[in-house]
Every structure is written in structure tokens, then in C-alpha cells.
Amino acid sequence: MNGPQLLEQYAGRLTTGAGAIFPGERAVFCGHDLHATLNDLDWLELYLFGITGRRYTPLQMKVLHAVCTFTSYPDARLWNNRVAALAGTVRSTGTLGIAAAYAVSEAQIYGWGAVLRASEFLCRTKMRVDAGEDIAELVSAELKHKRGISGYGRPIVSADERIAPLMAKVRELGFDGGPHLKLAFEVEKILLEGRWRLRMNYAALAAALCADLGMSPREYYFSSMPAFLAAMPPCYMEAAEKPEGLLFPLPCKVMLYEGVSRRKWRAAAQTQLL
Amino acid sequence: MTTEFIYSRIWQEEPEPDNAFAAATCHCHGYDVFGDLLVNASWIEYLFLLFRGEDPTIRQARLLEGLAMALANPGPRDAAVHAAMCGGVGGSTSASCLMAALAVGAGASGGAREVYLAMENWAGRGTDLATWRTELAAKPVSDPSDVWPMPGHPPGFDPHGVRCTGPVLKTLEHLVGVSDGPSLSWLQANRPTLEAAAGLPLAMSGVAAAALRDLGCTPEQGEMMHLFLRLPGAAVHALEQKDYGYKKFPFFSVELENDPATAHTGAEEKTGYRAEDKI
């Protein structure tokens, strides 16, 4: 069945396993009564349950909380946070500012685009190494094919200050022996010893930890989304509390024009023919 | 005192003599925006200039205007407009209605990503019919490292269509008549062959992709244009539903596949409710 017959089958109703509200009675979240059987979950646990369908142990949850906490930087210069802050300085709403900042966080050189690629690389490479392939050759091929490896290297600076404190926490919790984590550091060793001089960044470390907790790349992509959230409201709120327009005011002279020389538009008569 | 710069090949400003933060003049690709373009150019010409860096010929301006007309309102059944109406009906902010329309209208099934992918196909295949036929018959390839989900159908074609619809055919016919580029006329001439290869009828996204290519746009420019050219319809339908109110907006029934209340009994309780039920 296809075409309009297929559409007709789906018209007018929602067939779902995600959940539903029964007004005045109850709510179902992914096959469970939200208020009866999931009421002991903290918010991140519930969020991850919605993505993976799995429950995590308290120690695993500490790792996952740390993954979010350790990258929460309320610095309004960061591109995604800057969107939230600019919304504040021009007196837009908090929801609009943060929603836009969130959307912008799906970038290619940082954020969720990079996160997904880092996880996909580690999971794919792990499978191939397990199948007997040489890790150095896989890294070299990836660099040749994609001209970089997501999760290694960083825009603006090379060092990543999040690695050491997160690793300390991970060691403390006993999660420093997973196979994806081991692979992530082996890849870094290869990249540092070669001519590339690329250090592991937070995306690869977090991706490896989550892969060791059983997350697929797509699950990790969704699971990582709350990571930037905590930092955005302070950026918006501070800008909104200051006098309007004082965040990054730009004088005309910051504009460096590199385009064509001044010229005159053609006569209006031609335009009027349109 | 700032020492950082914003580089631009598009925009140039000179400050007012007494305020470094206010522009006295603005030039776009060399043209004085408020001293020349405002008086002598049309909106559609200015739009073309912004994207392409040159003033359009009369036929290019007509082509862009025709495309803008065709795309301006996909109608309330379109997913992007539907999303905007979900904002309007609940009294959400105007910007959120348009953000909803942009997010949903960005997709690879009828949205701007589909136009982007179709324009990439044009860039690779040109007007080589044999290549089009071969590649249209191939299944879309999944890239698990891409944030965009795998396209479910060849871009530019209607995944649920039976035949090429009236609006698509009329848009194609009109735009062919005003285009100097090769893509639209080739698309019109070869539509039956392409549709047979894809197993699907041509969609508006496919016409838009060809038109944007004839206008000299890159796939990235085409994606951006498609996003904002469809916003007028989203805006007015969001406002309209806000006016009608939620009692006249569909809420649909629900069939829960894994209801814990029926899991043990096997009962087929399929309870739905409408918006007039209190939440």
C-alpha cells in the first residue's frame, strides 16, 4: 500500500508507543504510567529513558550527570550562548532566546553535529578493531577520507580543560575501563604521535563514555542535548537585566567591507516593467 | 574599544558623524540602499541582489517573483504551516510560530533540505538524462554520522503522490516561460522520464530546485531561500488559528500501542479526546 491509500490509513489519529495523556486520569510515558511507575526518576533519568528505553544505575547516572555538568559554560561569547544573550539584550523572550540558542548548538564544528560524528566514528572503529583491523590504519583512512576526525582537535584552542576533571570523576566512579574509552585514548595517542598533533576533545570523551554505557550514536546525539542547557539562562538573564542593547554593541567601523565598488542602480523605468 | 572586525562582501556602512553606532549610509553590493535601491529597485530585485550580488535581468526578477508566489503559502495541511498553527492556536509568540515553521519546513521531505539535496543532484547530474535515470533508481544512502535523517525518497519528487499535481504543473509551466536558464525547460521536457525513473511524480520542491538553479543559486542559497519564502503562509495561518481558537483546531484521537493499563487484560481500549476536554 502506498500513495493516498497509505496516507488515509494514518489520517486523523496518532498511533504511538511514545505516550499519551488521558485527561483527568493518567499519563503514559513510553509504555509506563508516568505518575505511578516512573515517579522516582530524576529528570535526566526520565529523559534518557525516553531516548534509550533503558534505566541506568545510580553510579551510571552520576557519570551521565557529570557529562552534562562539566560542559556547562555560561560564557556569552560562545556562539550558541551568544544567541541567548543577544535575545536578552534586545528584550526578546527567554524561551525564544534559549530555543534559538539550542537550535544553533547543532553545529558542524562543535555541538551536536560534532557529537554525533564523534560517536559514530568511535562505534564504527570499535567494531572494525574488534573484527581484527588495525587501529592506526583506520585512523589514517578516516583522516584521508574526511580530512579530520570529529572529537579530536578543537576550534580556537587545542587543549580541552574538561578532559582531566571528567576523567577524575569517571575514575572515582569506576567507569574508566570501558572499551570505547580505551579506544578513544588510543586514537588520541596515534594523532599526537603523527603529524596531525590533534588532542581528544570533550565530544570524543563523552561519546566514548556513553558508548560504554550502551548508547548508540543516535541515542548519544539526543542524550547529549541537555549538556548546553544549564549555561544558557544565565547568559540570557544577565543580558536582560542590564540596560538594553549593551551586549556586544558594534560600531560601524568594525565592518570591514571587501565587496565591489560603489555603483548606481539602473533607471527605475526598467524596474517598473516588472 | 573593540579591536575585532566583521568582514563582509555584501554590506558596507558609514557612521553618522555624531554616533559611531548608527549608520548614516548603507551600501549593498555597492548600491546605496536608502539613497538608490529604495527608490529605484523592487523588493524582488533587492532580494536577488542580496543573494547573487548582481542586479537581476527582467526575466530573472520575474522568475524569482514567480517562485516566491508559488512558495509563499503551502496551505494549512503542509507540515510547516501546521507547526506554525500549533503555535498560533495556543497563543504562542509570533517568533515561535515562525521558528516552528522553519524547523519543520527545514526537512528532507517536502522542506528546504529536500531542495538542497535536489540542487546537489542538479550540480552533479546537470542535464544528463542517463545519469538522472540511473541515480533516481538507486536507493538513498544512509549516513549515520549526519544529523539529517536519511531521505526516504528521491529529492524533488512527491513520496505519496499519484500524479504531478495541478499547482506543480502550472508553476513549472509559468516558470519555464520566464526562465533563461536550462534547468526548468529541461525538467519540463523530461518530466515523464524522470518521474518514471523515480517511480514518483514531480513535487514543488523539484520545481523550486530547478528554478533556484536557473537563478544561479548554490544549494546552500537555495535552502535558505526556500526556508524564508514559505514563511508568509505560515505567519497568516498561525494568526488565523489564534483567532479561531483551540476548539476549532484538530487534536486527533490516539491509539496507544503499549498502554500499561491494558497490557495485562489485552483489552483494546483506544481512548481519544478532543481539545475541548480539559487538560
Chain B residues lying within 8 Å of A262, measured CB to CB? 27, 30-32
Chain B residues lying within 8 Å of A98, measured CB to CB? none
Chain B residues lying within 8 Å of A267, measured CB to CB? 40
Contacts of A163 (CB under 8 A, 6+ apart): A200, A201, A202, A205
Selecting from A93, A259, A271 the residue whose C-beta is nearest the C-beta of B12 gives A259
Of all residues in chain B, the one with the smallest CA distance to A218 is: B144
pLDDT tens, B189-227? 999 999 999 999 999 999 999 999 999 999 999 999 999
Angle between helices A79-89 and A94-104 (to 10 degrees): 160
What's residue A25's pLDDT?
95
Query: Which CA distances in Å does A158 have to A192, A200, B56, B242?
Result: 11, 9, 45, 50
Q: Whole-number mean pLDDT of chain A?
A: 94
Instruction: Give A 109-168 residues with CB within 8 A of chain B.
Output: 112-113, 116-117, 120-121, 150
- Answer yes or no: do B5 and A4 touch at CB < 8 A: no
What's residue A5's pLDDT?
94
What's residue B270's pLDDT?
36
Q: What is the average per-residue pLDDT within B16-36?
A: 98
As a whole number of angstroms, the distance between CA A10 and CA A1 comes to: 12
Helix (H) or strand (E) holding B222: helix B219-229
Q: Whole-number mean pLDDT of chain B?
A: 93
What's residue B268's pLDDT?
37
Domain spanning A111-227: which superfamily?
A: Cytochrome P450-Terp, domain 2 (1.10.230.10)
Selecting from B10, B162, B255 the residue whose C-beta is nearest the C-beta of A13 gives B255
What's residue A254's pLDDT?
96
pLDDT tens, A186-197? 999 999 988 888
pLDDT tens, A177-232? 999 999 999 999 999 988 888 899 999 999 999 999 999 999 999 999 999 999 99
- Answer yes or no: do B36 and A13 touch at CB < 8 A: no
Interface test with A, best of B147, B252, B271 (most A CBs within 10 A): B147
Per-residue cell: B17: 558623524
Residue A22 DSSP SS3 = strand
- Answer yes or no: do A259 and B261 touch at CB < 8 A: no
Q: Torsion over CA of A89, A91, A94 and A97, rounded to 10 degrees?
A: -60
Listed residue (A1, A39, A118) closest to B144, CA to CA: A118
- Answer yes or no: do A251 and B20 touch at CB < 8 A: yes
Of all residues in chain A, the one with the smallest CA distance to B274 is: A23
Query: Which CA distances in Å does B104 have to A8, B143, B165, B227?
Result: 21, 21, 22, 10
Triad A49, A52, A53: Cα angle to 5°? 60
Per-residue cell: A163: 578532559
What's residue A122's pLDDT?
97
- Answer yes or no: do A23 and B260 touch at CB < 8 A: no
DSSP state of B37: I
pLDDT confidence band for B279 (50 / 70 / 90): very low
Percent residues over pLDDT 70 in chain A: 96
- Answer yes or no: do B12 and A255 touch at CB < 8 A: yes
| pLDDT surpassing 70 at residue B129 | yes
DSSP state of B157: B
Residue range(s) occupied by CATH 1.10.230.10 in chain A: 111-227
Helix (H) or strand (E) holding A20: strand A19-22
- Say if CB B13 and CB A252 are below 8 A apart: yes
Listed residue (B28, B32, B71, B86) closest to B174, CA to CA: B71
Selecting from B29, B39, B95 the residue whose C-beta is nearest the C-beta of A259 gives B29
Chain A residues lying within 8 Å of B13, measured CB to CB? 252, 255
- Answer yes or no: do A20 and B22 touch at CB < 8 A: no
- Distance, in angstroms, between B265 CA and closest chain A CA? 15
Selecting from A28, A96, A252 the residue whose C-beta is nearest the C-beta of B96 gives A96
Of all residues in chain A, the one with the smallest CA distance to B12 is: A257
Q: Are strands B31-32 and A19-22 parallel, antiparallel or unpaired?
A: unpaired
Interface test with B, best of A117, A145, A246, A265 (most B CBs within 10 A): A265
The total number of residues written for chain A in this structure = 274
What's residue B269's pLDDT?
37
Q: A256 at the B interface (CB within 8 A)?
A: yes
Chain A residues lying within 8 Å of B161, measured CB to CB? 3
As a whole number of angstroms, the distance between CA A34 and CA A28 comes to: 5
| pLDDT surpassing 60 at residue B267 | no
As a whole number of angstroms, the distance between CA B70 and CA B207 comes to: 10
The total number of residues written for chain B in this structure = 279
Following DSSP, what letter does each residue of B8-34 receive, concatenated?
ESSEEEEEETTEEEEEEEEEETTEEII
Chain A residues lying within 8 Å of B203, measured CB to CB? none
pLDDT tens, B230-253? 999 999 999 999 999 999 999 999
Listed residue (B192, B51, B183) closest to B118, CA to CA: B183
What's residue A151's pLDDT?
94
Count of A–B CB contacts within 8 Å? 170
Q: What is the average per-residue pLDDT within B29-52?
A: 98
As a whole number of angstroms, the distance between CA B62 and CA B49 comes to: 14
pLDDT tens, B82-120? 999 999 999 999 999 999 999 999 999 999 999 999 999
pLDDT tens, A248-274? 999 999 999 999 999 999 865 555 555
- Answer yes or no: do A15 and B255 touch at CB < 8 A: yes
Listed residue (A132, A139, A165) closest to A63, CA to CA: A165
pLDDT confidence band for A163 (50 / 70 / 90): very high
Query: Which CA distances in Å does B244 have to A72, B77, B91, B101?
Result: 42, 16, 11, 19
Contacts of A138 (CB under 8 A, 6+ apart): A125, A128, A129
pTM above 0.80, yes or no: yes
pLDDT confidence band for A139 (50 / 70 / 90): very high
- Answer yes or no: do A274 and B58 touch at CB < 8 A: yes
